[in-house]
Structure 1
Amino acid sequence: MRLRTTDISARTIGGETIVLDLPNSQYFAITGVGSRVFELLGEDRTLDDLVTTVVAEYEVDETTARRDVLAFVDRLHQARLLA
């Protein structure tokens, strides 16, 4: 999975990622671990890749990381931000 690269604009400022979905006139604010996962999705990644990185970089167990990453990715998918 990967972020849609056309018609969205994203910037991280002070630990918060601001995403503009230009065609749909939607604005998203992403904080915390979500900003890191969003960054990782700039390249094609599997769910396992994302979970492994989150577990390695944050103090979280694999079960919690998998649940949270899956929920976050699902929200990105619902918002049509994934290619």
Structure 2
Amino acid sequence: MRLRSTELSARTIGDETIILSLPDSRYFSVTGIGTRIVELLGEERTIDELVDTIVGEYEVDADVARRDVEAFVGRLTEARLVR
């Protein structure tokens, strides 16, 4: 999966990323590790790749990271921000 880059505009300021979905003019605000996940989804990634990266970069248990990454990606999917 990856962000629908041709249909989105995103800007990161500090640890907050603002995403604009161009087709429906909806804004989304992402902070913290979510900003890193959005950055990673600039390229094609699997859930396993996202979890591995987060575990490698942050002090977080792999099970907790998986649960949080899956929940976050689920919200991105519901908002139709990823394909």
TM-score w.r.t. structure 1 length? 0.97
- Identity of counterpart residues, as a percentage? 65
The aligned counterpart of 1:79 is 79
Corresponding position of 1:21? 21
Q: What stretches of structure 2 of length at least 5 have no aligned partner? A: none
Look up the equivalent residue of 1:39 and give its one-letter code: E
In the alignment, which residue of structure 1 is the partner of 2:43?
43
Which TM-score applies when normalising by structure 2?
A: 0.97
CA distance in structure 1 between the partners assigned to 2:26 and 2:68 by the alignment: 23
SS of 1:6 mapped into structure 2: helix
Separation in structure 1 between the aligned mates of residue 18 and residue 26 of structure 2, nearest angstrom: 11
AA at the equivalent of 1:66: R
Q: Provide the aligned C-alpha RMSD in A.
A: 0.6
Tell me what 1:8 maps to: 8
Residues of 1 paired with 2:7 and 2:54: CA distance? Answer: 27
**Structure 2 CA distance, aligned partners of 1:3 and 1:14?**
20
Q: How many residues align?
A: 83
1:10-66 deviations in whole A, cap 9, x for unaligned? Answer: 010011000000111100000000000000000000100000000010110000000
* Secondary structure of the corresponding residue to residue 52 of structure 1: helix
